[in-house]
Amino acid sequence: MKRIILHWSGGKYTPSSVDIEHYHFLSDGNGQIIKGKYNPEDNLNCQDGKYAAHCGGYNTGSIGIALCAMYGYKSPTSQGNYPFLRVQAEAMFAYCATLLKKYQLTPTKQCVMTHYEVGKMLPNSTSAGKIDITFIPYEPKLNKDEVGDYIRNKVRWYYER
Ligand SMILES: [Zn+2]
């Protein structure tokens, strides 16, 4: 595997059946990590249609993890009723560190990106314009271009423990 892409599902605090098909792992509202339908290795070859489609234009070699949350979110001033919670985000960051070690990856931008960052990197892909993850409900002062580094710092902390 080459990298991990971090998402929010845009759903509620428990994963839907669609979420289970589109992400390899999900962190629910209690911070429980739930396995999706596909294994990360299914994304080594995306030609056969049997893979987790989570990151248009960048699915091959990419592990997808999502926070189950953010249904109804439009912007920092219109967040809806399912903001992602610290407990589930920390669980995702910790699990991300576990996966980095398992697949001999590093807590760098090369290996850990948000879907939003992929969209900026690949402006002609269907990942362009994605807003996950551009806002941290419990750290609202971070702007959209600071969130990725904040997350990588968190993942690095778990990785080095
Ligand atoms: Zn996404």
**Neighbouring residues of the ion ligand 1, judged by CB less than 5 Å:** 7, 115, 132
Is residue 86 within 8 Å of residue 80, measured between CB atoms? no
Which residue segment(s) compose the domain that 34 sits in? 3-160
Cα dihedral 52/57/62/64 (nearest 10): -50
44 Cβ contact partners less than 8 Å away, ≥ 6 residues apart: 1, 60, 61
One digit per residue, the tens of pLDDT, for the chain of length 161 reads 999 999 999 999 999 999 999 999 999 999 999 999 999 999 999 999 999 999 999 999 999 999 999 999 999 999 999 999 999 999 999 999 999 999 999 999 999 999 999 999 999 999 999 999 999 999 999 999 999 999 999 999 999 99
CA 56–ligand 1 middle distance (angstroms) = 9
**pLDDT at position 69:** 98
* Domain containing residue 28: CATH number: 3.40.80.10
Q: Which pTM was predicted?
A: 0.97
* Identity of the residue numbered 63: I
Q: What is the C-alpha to C-alpha distance for residues 91 and 143, in angstroms, rounded to an integer?
A: 22
CA 40–ligand 1 middle distance (angstroms) = 16
Our count of domains for the chain comes to 1
93 Cβ contact partners less than 8 Å away, ≥ 6 residues apart: 151, 154, 155, 157, 158
